[in-house]
Each structure stands twice: as C-alpha cells, then as structure tokens.
Amino acid sequence: MLIAGFPAGPWGTNCYVVATGQGAECIVVDPGMDATPGVEEVVRENKLKPVAVLLTHGHIDHMFSVLPVCGTYDATAWIHPDDRHLLADPMAGISPETARMLLGGDHAFAEPDEVSELEDGQALELAGLRFTVDHTPGHTRGSVTFTTPYDGPQKGTQQVPAVLFSGDVLFAGSIGRTDLPGGDHPAMLHTLATKILPMRDEIVVLPGHGGQTTIGREKATNPYLQDLEIQNS
C-alpha cells in the first residue's frame, strides 16, 4: 500500500495520494491550495493514475485545487451533499480573515465535470481500495471521514488495522474549529462521541493539518475527548 502525504499552501493543508502500490490507479484526498505540483510529483514518481478526489469537507483550504486535479486526470470528485455548494462558492464557508487573504487574487471556482455525493456508512470501492465513509458534521455540515484497511508494512508488535483520513474533525491534540459558517459545536461533540471514540485504538489518524497520530493516543491525551463518553449514533 502506498500513502504519500504532504502539506500544501499557506494553511499547510495535508494532501494525500493513496494507491495499492506503484503503477496503479490512485485517489487524492483534499487537494488544497498549491497542492497540484505535489500531486503531479507523486503521480509521476510512482507511475500512478488518479481516478477520484475525495474531499473531507468543502472548505477552500481542502478543495482549492479540486478542479485542476480532476480536470488533468479526468477524475471524479466525491463530496457530501451538505458541502457540495462550496465547490462553486467556497467564500460561503470561510472566515473574514481568509477572505481578506484571497482578495485581489484571480481565483475561479466551479464544480468539476464529474461530482458524486457521499453518504454516511457508504463503502467506496475505488482504485482497488475500500473506503468507509462516516458523516461527521461539526466543523462543517458536510464533513466526512474516510477509513481504509491498512495492508502496508507494520512496525513493532502493534498492528495497524486501518487508516483514518480525518480531515478537520480530529487533529493530534485538538479538533476542528466550529465557529465558521456551517460549524456546530454540539454536532462536533456528538460526532466525536459517536464516530471517533468507538474506533479501535490502533487506527492511525492522518489529519487535515499537522502530524499523524492514533485513535488511542487521542483518547488518552486529547483534551477535547477527555470528558466525552462513547454514544450510539
């Protein structure tokens, strides 16, 4: 299994390219601002063919490059319907500070030619990989996470059963902010209690910003999870 990740753009948004191995089809997760050259490099070096772009949510720092990436490789964009409007109107989901940051730039946004909508609990079979979709609102109304079984090299005695692409739901030591348009703090707490806490400790978390972590580490040390109890969704 091949997972290549790199931070892109002024927000340092993590973009990931995932494939079963070199010379295979692949998917791209969250191509944010300035992510296109990084995607091109990973694809070229590993002889990959992107067939889909998975978006954890519609914020501009995660989908800025979705149009050129999808257009270059004739790939389908996948997004939750509650965030789909942000593909063509990302200003509807950003803060005044971010808007000022982008003022004066020649930025045009539109939906890619092929867009498919995600559903809670959906099993996506793409590029020889299987992703489970969880609708995880709170950061945005249409936030989702993607979990895929991990069959790459294992380190030490603790086996890694799966990898979670958490977007801006869960970070190492923190969670996504809920004060932007579409944010909802009670919904975020419900998401954490019903979707994140029940996960196995050994799952590796690849977040939208910052370094990787594990579910177990966050359960033990993340202050936003300390007072929460597992709930049924």
User: What is the SS3 assignment for 215?
Assistant: helix
User: Residue 63 has what pLDDT?
Assistant: 93
Query: For residue 135, is it within any domain?
Result: yes
Residue in the structure block whose two tokens are 């601002």: 33
Query: For residue 77, is it within any domain?
Result: yes
Query: For residue 178, is it within any domain?
Result: yes
45: CATH: 3.60.15.10
Helices (H), the chain: 36-46, 60-63, 66-73, 85-88, 96-102, 185-191, 215-221
> What does residue 118 show for φ and ψ, rounded to 5 degrees?
-90, 150
pTM of the model: 0.92
- Per the structure, the count of domains in the chain is 1
Q: Which two tokens stand for residue 130?
A: 């299987």
Q: Estimate to the nearest angstrom the gap between the alpha carbon of 58 and the chain centroid.
A: 10
Query: For residue 230, is it within any domain?
Result: no
Separation between Cα atoms, residue 122 and residue 76, nearest integer Å: 16
Query: For residue 28, is it within any domain?
Result: yes
Q: Tell which residue, 190, 186, 90, has the closest CA to residue 134.
A: 190
> What does residue 143 show for φ and ψ, rounded to 5 degrees?
-60, 140
User: pLDDT of the chain along its 233 residues, tens only?
Assistant: 999 999 998 889 999 999 999 999 999 999 999 999 999 999 999 999 999 999 999 999 999 999 999 999 999 999 999 999 999 887 776 766 666 565 455 567 788 999 999 999 999 999 999 999 999 999 999 999 999 999 776 766 678 899 999 999 999 999 999 998 889 999 999 999 999 999 999 999 999 999 999 999 999 999 999 888 888 76
Q: Which residues constitute the domain of residue 38?
A: 2-221
User: Residue 95 has what pLDDT?
Assistant: 65
Longest CA pairwise span in the chain (Å): 53
User: Residue 131 has what pLDDT?
Assistant: 98
Query: For residue 57, is it within any domain?
Result: yes
Query: For residue 175, is it within any domain?
Result: yes
Query: For residue 191, is it within any domain?
Result: yes
User: Residue 7 has what pLDDT?
Assistant: 97
